[in-house]
């Protein structure tokens, strides 16, 4: 176990360095923050710009800047935002809970919905219920998420006036962004649960469990589901990573104060410190989730535990 964790830690460090290096380098190809900041000011001289660059630290060679950034990570000091001068760590600290809450809520809704629906579809394979679930899943898969989000806002906020159209507030503010993502996730997950369940239901031990006289609920949710868990959590883990990437769009539509909004604004302003910090945090989150998935394998399957 110790060896495994050390290996994973080294892997994580490598991943974070590779991603931040790529992102930091790429963003610097897209324009000068000094120019971006004062666009429209018009009266900037080359001297003024040079002074701004010196103040921001962007006059130094790329690798010096990048190295400073890495040093900053170790002390959790990501510097100050180019826009407004707030501590980047404060910005990130405020945005992480918003994003994670939204991501967890939508994942949770999707898992709670897709497992029973997927099992229902698998047990009624080829019958009406299965067909219905598959058709709804296909419809869910076909929605573009921004379109679905806009439609929900039009219906529930503008027309019915039931829910707040944007921003993060009480529990009611979670309903639309959470539902938008959950619908799309559930559409995929139902199919995944159905397929893995169909495989598992062919197993001899499911027949043995029935031959013991166990109820169908016990057979499905105790004996079969636990054996489906490995492919399911593998996929859920990957999905969570994808979700963090895809959340930018939803955060924009609902004006959600999370990492996605932060990253979006930072790209626009060429706000290097903020962008680098967001990317670092996101990649650490994804690496962390995958580590949790690996640990969960061992908890679920004794055959993996003993290896």
CA-to-CA distance for 188 and 45, rounded, in angstroms? 55
Q: Is 198 in the site for other proteins (CB under 8 A)?
A: no
Residue that is written with structure tokens 């004794």 in the block: 302
Residue with tokens 């626009």: 268
Which tokens in the block code for residue 274? 């903020």
Do residues 220 and 123 lie in contact, with contact meaning Cβ atoms separated by under 8 Å? Answer: yes
**Smallest gap from residue 36 Cβ to other proteins (A):** 49
188 closest CA partner among 126, 113, 101: 113
3-state percent helix, strand, coil for the chain, nearest multiple of 5 = 80, 0, 20
Q: What single-letter DSSP state applies at residue 182?
A: H
Report the alpha-carbon distance of residue 242 to residue 237 in Å, rounded.
9
User: What's the min distance (Å) between Cβ of 297 and other proteins?
Assistant: 11
Kindly tell me which residue out of 214, 284, 293, 296 binds other proteins, with binding defined by CB under 8 A: 214
The encoded tokens of residue 173 equal 């503010």
Q: Segment 22-41, which members bind other proteins (CB under 8 A)?
A: none
Query: Rule CB under 8 A: is residue 293 a binding residue for other proteins?
Result: no
Q: Can residue 213 be called a binding residue for other proteins (CB under 8 A)?
A: yes
Is residue 194 involved in binding other proteins (CB under 8 A)?
Answer: no
Decide if residue 169 touches other proteins (CB under 8 A): no
Applying CB under 8 A, does 9 fall inside the site for other proteins?
Answer: no
- Contact pattern for other proteins over residues 242 through 281, marking x by CB under 8 A: ----------------------------------------
**Binders in 49-108 for other proteins, by CB under 8 A:** none
Where do contacts with other proteins occur on this chain (CB under 8 A)?
3, 6, 203-205, 207-216, 223, 226-227, 300-303, 306
């Amino acid at each position: 176990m110790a060896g495994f964790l050390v290996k994973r830690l080294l892997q994580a460090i490598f991943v974070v360095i590779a991603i931040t290096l790529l992102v930091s380098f790429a963003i610097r190809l897209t324009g000068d923050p000094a120019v971006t900041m004062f666009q429209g000011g018009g009266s900037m001289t080359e001297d003024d710009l040079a002074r701004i660059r010196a103040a921001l630290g962007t006059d130094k060679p790329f690798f010096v800047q990048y190295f400073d950034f890495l040093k900053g990570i170790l002390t959790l000091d990501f510097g100050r935002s180019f826009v407004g001068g707030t501590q980047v760590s404060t910005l990130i600290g405020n945005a992480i809970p918003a994003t994670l809450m939204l991501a967890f809520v939508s994942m949770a809704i999707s898992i709670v919905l897709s497992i029973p629906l997927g099992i229902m579809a698998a047990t009624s394979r080829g019958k009406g219920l299965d067909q219905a679930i598959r058709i709804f899943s296909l419809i869910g898969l076909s929605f573009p998420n921004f379109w679905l989000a806009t439609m929900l806002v039009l219906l529930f906020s503008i027309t019915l006036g039931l829910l707040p159209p944007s921003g993060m507030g009480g529990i009611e503010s979670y309903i639309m962004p959470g539902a938008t993502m959950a619908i799309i996730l559930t559409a995929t997950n139902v199919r995944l649960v159905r397929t893995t369940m169909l495989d598992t239901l062919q197993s001899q031990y499911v027949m043995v469990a029935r031959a013991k006289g166990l109820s169908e609920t016990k057979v499905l949710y105790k004996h079969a589901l636990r054996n489906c868990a490995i492919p399911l959590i593998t996929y859920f883990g990957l999905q969570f990573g994808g979700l963090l990437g895809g959340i930018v769009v939803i955060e924009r539509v609902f004006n959600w104060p999370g990492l996605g909004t932060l990253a979006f604004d930072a790209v626009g302003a060429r706000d290097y410190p903020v962008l680098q910090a967001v990317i670092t945090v996101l990649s650490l989150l994804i690496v962390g989730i995958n580590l949790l998935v690996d640990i969960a394998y061992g908890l679920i399957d004794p055959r993996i535990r003993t290896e």
